[in-house]
Amino acid sequence: MDIRFLSGNKFKIIEANKILNNIGVNIVPINIKIDEIQTEDPIKLLKDNSLKAFEILGRPLFVEHTGLYLNYLNELPGGLTQIFWDRLEADKFCDLFGKTTDTSAVARTLIGYVNGKKIQIFDGEIKGNISVEPRGNRDFQWDCVFIPEGYSQTFAELGEEKNEISMRRRALDKFATFLKGVE
């Protein structure tokens, strides 16, 4: 089964392919520009992106949004994580949030699947902490600063093991269960 995935992020596409290939789903990447609303509400953001993408393509697809929710900032940046990350990047992010009195965070992924009739939403999350300094490869956004609960390494340092425990994995597993029921 082929399924379209709206993402311009090659790392997200690779992760989704590795996880969904196990149930016979082939990811077809779609890289179209969507004017994304800026909101703290990730559900509103996901629904808006899903509907806009479906309007352009006219075919079933899924959209993904992942954010960091920092306890120190009352769960910000959440839906605005990309804006924070683009402005601060790894070193400043760690200086500001990895050295606070509360470095705890939740990494949360939401997947929106739209088939033209309705939007199904699947979520996954993992608790962790922001590291004092970036560690590991810096290519995939904040993987180099997030240490999942129960681990001493960042997502970036965990390499392939990340795919077994991540918030994206948890959301994609729920999505995969849904897709099995659709076939």
DSSP string, the chain: -EEEEE---HHHHHHHHHHHGGGTPEEEEE---------S-HHHHHHHHHHHHHHHH-S-EEEEEEEEEEGGGTTEEGGGHHHHHHHHHHHHHHHHHSSSS--EEEEEEEEEEE-SS-EEEEEEEEEEEE-SS--S--SSGGGGTEEETT-SS-HHHHGGGHHHHSHHHHHHHHHHHHHHHH-
Domains: count for the chain:
1
| Dist. CA 43–CA 26, nearest whole Å | 25
| Dist. CA 44–CA 173, nearest whole Å | 22
Reported as a single tens digit per residue, the pLDDT across 62-80 is 999 999 999 999 998 888 8
Reported as a single tens digit per residue, the pLDDT across 12-47 is 898 899 889 888 889 999 988 888 888 888 899 899
Tokens of 152: 């001493």
pLDDT at 96: 93
Q: pTM (2 decimals)? A: 0.90
pLDDT at 116: 82
Tokens of 1: 């089964």
pLDDT at 37: 87
- Residues of the chain with pLDDT > 90, as a percent, come to 64
| Residues spanned by the domain of 133 | 2-182
Task: With a cut of 80, say whether residue 182 has pLDDT above it.
Answer: no
| Residues 143 and 162 sit within 8 Å (Cβ to Cβ) | yes
Reported as a single tens digit per residue, the pLDDT across 138-170 is 998 899 999 999 999 999 999 989 989 999 999
pLDDT at 78: 83
Question: The domain that contains 28 carries what CATH number?
Answer: 3.90.950.10
Task: With a cut of 60, say whether residue 183 has pLDDT above it.
Answer: no
133-140 mean pLDDT: 94
| Dist. CA 137–CA 159, nearest whole Å | 9
Residue 79 dihedral angles phi and psi, to the nearest 5°: -65, -10
